[in-house]
Each structure stands twice: as C-alpha cells, then as structure tokens.
Amino acid sequence: MHTSPTSHVPRTAGVRRLSTWIGAAAVALLSACGPFGYLKKVAVDASRAVGQAEKAGAKEYAPYEYWGAVTYLEQSKVLMAYSEYDRAFDYGDRAKQLAEEAKRKAARREAGKMRETASDKAAADEKKAAGSAAGAAAGDAKVGGGK
C-alpha cells in the first residue's frame, strides 16, 4: 500500500489557526467590497431610510433634507453603475444621514403642529374674538367721534 508523504504530516494547531484567520480575513474583505457591500449599505439601508422619511411626512415638513437624501441615493446608484464603489458608499451614507435627519425633523414639526393645534386653538379663538370685539368698539368710537 502506497501513501503519499504528505498524508502522514499532521497539521499543527498553529497552521490550522493561521489558515482560519486567512480565510476569515478573505471573507471579511470580499464582503465589504464591490456590489455586495453596496447592496447592503445603499440599496437596503439608505433606501429604507428614505422610505421611512417619506412615510414620516418629510416631503412636507423637511423638504430640504428629504430631497437631498433622494438625490444622494440616486447619485449613489449612478456611481454604482460605473463601478465607483467607494464614492457610491459615501453617497449612500450621506443619503441615509439626510433621510434620518429628515425623519427626525418631520416628526418634530408634526408633533409641534399637533400640540399647537390642540392646546392653542381655544386661545387663538379667544384672541380672535377679543380682537373683533375691540375692533368693533374702536369702530363705534370713530363713528361717534366724527359727528
């Protein structure tokens, strides 16, 4: 029975550990490069953030941030088509940041508007009523003073 000389050489723990580290490093590097990283970072994260901002009313309450996010996301996709992955990632990150900012700003403005409407409606009605009563009294004084 003939065996090859390498079949009897035991693998040491150090060699196994080294090969494991090399394999893990290769997987980590490949997963962050090219279209795979783009799909995770831009297509999923940034697109989701823009969608959530839109649902929060960012078109109306935070238009600058919302449309900035939409524009950065579109440009990121264009750069991806030209295989400019680093720039595509940067634009995707910026789109996500702007979308999250738009969502926060829209939520604050919406909450502020709702509080103002609920709490200040009666005060505004009283002020309006007081203003028209004062205006009517001033009008009467003018008419009466001119005779």
In a domain, residue 101? The reply is yes
The predicted pLDDT at position 117 comes to 47
| pLDDT value, residue 51 | 95
Is 115 within a domain? yes
Which residue segment(s) compose the domain that 89 sits in? 32-126
Q: State residue 68's pLDDT score.
A: 96
User: What's this model's pTM, rounded to 2 decimal places?
Assistant: 0.54
Flag whether 37 is in a domain.
yes
The residue behind tokens 């003939």 is 2
Cα 81 to Cα 29, 75, 119, 132: the distances in Å are 21, 10, 51, 63
Which contacts (CB < 8 Å, 24+ apart) does range 135-142 have?
Answer: none
Token output for 7: 């079949």
Q: Structural domain tally of the chain?
A: 1
Residue 23, pLDDT score: 60
87 and 75 Cβ atoms separated by less than 8 Å: no
Residue holding tokens 């969608």?
A: 51
**Residue 112: predicted pLDDT:** 78
Residue 94 lies in a domain: yes
Q: Is residue 60 part of a domain?
A: yes
Residue-level pLDDT, tens digit, the chain, 147 residues: 555 555 555 556 655 665 666 665 555 555 555 577 667 767 789 999 999 999 999 999 999 999 999 999 999 989 988 988 889 889 999 999 999 999 999 999 877 765 544 445 566 667 666 666 555 555 555 555 554
Residue 74 lies in a domain: yes
The tokens of 8 are what?
């009897």
- Asked, for residue 54, whether it belongs to a domain, the answer is yes
Which 3 state secondary structure label does DSSP give 4?
Answer: coil
